């Protein structure tokens, strides 16, 4: 039996090291950086809150798991027990879920001591490397599914229809825009979201926002909701029907592009909730760029479709150089 092939999964390894070895090492390094940044923030707080405790716990767990699995790769015997088995898949999936939750709590715009402080290198490390951990863990899950079970998620998405991956990405970015805007609305605009609340329960940032801040934040929630709804509709149609009426997709992409254009203008401007570097800023721009890409792709397909499709009367205009086919007369 070839020692470079996992007997259970059939995955090809090199001296016990799977193609995911470098990913586990990278995840370990990134988590150590997040751990150092979050511990430093924790030490600066007199009463550490639940968010920083979660960041410390998640990064600590990831560093330990990543270091152990990276070390296991060094031994062909030990790697056959974990690498390419359901144990590795479950660990990668759990870490991916944990980091998905972590990136949501390490970017609280209402905590200027810990997060969303663009001027602080420490907090920048916490922000960027928490996202690096999440992306790396996601790539680990996708790579494991492809090698262990032969499930090529990327190819499956491409086979389901054009622009499906872009619409799916728009669902994710719009969901983050909606969630970030809603969190800011609840934290910085309590009087706007619930007029029955007393002034004493307002967050400290609510006293320093402009008059247009809260309306712009509400608009951010609306933009995110609309993006999620429209993109989910197109994705569902492509997955279930494989073919979406082009006129519907073009109109939806046009509306989505216009709404996201206003979203970028109102949300990321100086008086908007996304003016600071953070999730809302980045994903508002990403949603806009994705919507522009989708509109351009639909417009390009609309321009090229007549040349590849049949004419108005159902006759193929591509035959005989675009001329109507003429049946030759038999010799008399």
> Mean pLDDT in runs of 10 for the chain (332 residues)?
48 59 94 91 78 89 94 83 87 91 68 41 75 92 78 59 82 89 81 48 49 90 94 85 78 95 92 84 94 92 63 42 50 50
- Extended beta strands in the chain, E state: none
- Residue 135 placed within a domain: yes
Find how far residue 151's CA is from the centre of its chain: 20
Closest CA to 69 of 5, 162, 157, 140: 140
Backbone angles phi, psi at 5, to 5 degrees: -120, 125
Number of residues that this document lists for the chain: 332
For 292, the domain range is: 159-194+205-304
Q: Are residues 139 and 170 in the same domain?
A: no
pLDDT in tens, 52-91: 888 899 999 999 999 999 998 888 887 788 888 889 989 9
pLDDT in tens, 293-323: 999 988 888 887 654 444 334 444 444 444 4
Q: Are residues 118 and 146 in the same domain?
A: yes
Encode burial over 163-198: b for 16+ CB neighbours within 10 A, e otherwise.
Answer: bbebbbbbbbbbbbbbbbbbbbbebbbbebbeeeee
Q: Measured at the alpha carbon of residue 127, what is the angle toward residues 32 and 189, in degrees to the nearest 5?
A: 140
- Residue 290 placed within a domain: yes
Residue 110 and residue 184 in contact, taking contact as beta carbons nearer than 8 Å: yes
- Residue 124 placed within a domain: yes
Backbone angles phi, psi at 17, to 5 degrees: -105, 125
Backbone angles phi, psi at 70, to 5 degrees: -65, -40
Q: What is the pLDDT of residue 210?
A: 67
Q: What is the pLDDT of residue 112?
A: 43
Q: State the CB neighbour count (10 A cutoff) for residue 161.
A: 19
Q: What is the pLDDT of residue 196?
A: 53
Q: Are residues 226 and 142 in the same domain?
A: no
**Per-residue CA distances from 238 to 71, 228, 257, 261, 309 (Å):** 43, 15, 20, 25, 21
Q: Are residues 163 and 292 in the same domain?
A: yes
Q: Are residues 261 and 285 in the same domain?
A: yes
- Residue 328 placed within a domain: no
- Residue 287 placed within a domain: yes
Residue 27 and residue 136 in contact, taking contact as beta carbons nearer than 8 Å: yes
Residue 124 and residue 36 in contact, taking contact as beta carbons nearer than 8 Å: no
Q: What is the pLDDT of residue 153?
A: 58
Distance CA 290, CA 166 (A): 7
Number of domains in the chain: 2
Q: Are residues 273 and 185 in the same domain?
A: yes
Q: Are residues 233 and 274 in the same domain?
A: yes
Q: Are residues 49 and 168 in the same domain?
A: no
Q: Are residues 291 and 164 in the same domain?
A: yes
Q: Are residues 81 and 111 in the same domain?
A: yes
Q: Coil, strand or helix: which one is 87?
A: helix
Q: Are residues 220 and 115 in the same domain?
A: no
- Residue 200 placed within a domain: no
Element (H, E) at 215: helix 213-241
Structure tokens at 90: 């479950």
- Residue 6 placed within a domain: no
Q: State the CB neighbour count (10 A cutoff) for residue 248.
A: 12
Q: What is the pLDDT of residue 158?
A: 59
**Per-residue CA distances from 54 to 36, 107, 209, 279 (Å):** 13, 13, 29, 18
- Residue 327 placed within a domain: no
Q: Are residues 241 and 126 in the same domain?
A: no
Distance CA 145, CA 140 (A): 9
Q: What is the pLDDT of residue 275?
A: 83
């Amino acid at each position: 039996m070839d020692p470079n092939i996992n007997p259970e999964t059939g995955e090809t390894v090199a001296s016990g090291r799977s193609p995911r070895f470098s990913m586990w090492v990278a995840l370990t390094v990134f988590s150590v950086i997040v751990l150092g940044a979050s511990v430093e923030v924790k030490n600066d707080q007199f009463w550490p809150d639940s968010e920083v405790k979660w960041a410390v716990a998640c990064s600590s767990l990831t560093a330990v798991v990543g270091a152990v699995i990276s070390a296991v790769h060094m031994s062909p015997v030990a790697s056959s027990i974990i690498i390419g088995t359901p144990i590795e898949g479950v660990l990668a999936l759990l870490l991916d879920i944990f980091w998905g939750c972590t990136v949501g709590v390490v970017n609280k715009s209402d905590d200027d001591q810990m997060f969303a402080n663009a001027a602080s290198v420490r907090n920048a490390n916490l922000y960027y490397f928490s996202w690096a951990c999440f992306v790396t863990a996601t790539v680990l899950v996708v790579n494991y599914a492809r090698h262990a079970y032969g499930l090529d998620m990327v190819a499956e998405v491409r086979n389901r229809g054009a622009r499906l991956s872009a619409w799916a990405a728009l669902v994710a970015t719009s969901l983050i825009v909606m969630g970030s805007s809603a969190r800011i609305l609840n934290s910085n605009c309590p009087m706007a979201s619930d007029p029955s609340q007393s002034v004493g329960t307002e967050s400290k940032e609510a006293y320093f926002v402009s008059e247009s801040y809260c309306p712009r934040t509400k608009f951010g929630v609306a933009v995110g909701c609309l993006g999620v709804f429209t993109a989910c509709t197109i994705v569902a149609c492509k997955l279930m029907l494989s073919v979406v009426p082009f006129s519907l997709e073009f109109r939806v992409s046009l509306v989505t592009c216009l709404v996201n254009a206003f979203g970028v203008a109102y949300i990321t401007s100086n008086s908007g909730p996304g003016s600071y570097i953070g999730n809302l800023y980045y994903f508002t721009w990403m949603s806009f760029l994705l919507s522009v890409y989708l509109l351009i792709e639909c417009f390009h397909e609309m321009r090229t479709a007549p040349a590849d499709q049949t004419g108005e009367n159902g006759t193929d205009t591509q035959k005989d150089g675009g001329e109507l086919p003429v049946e030759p007369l038999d010799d008399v």
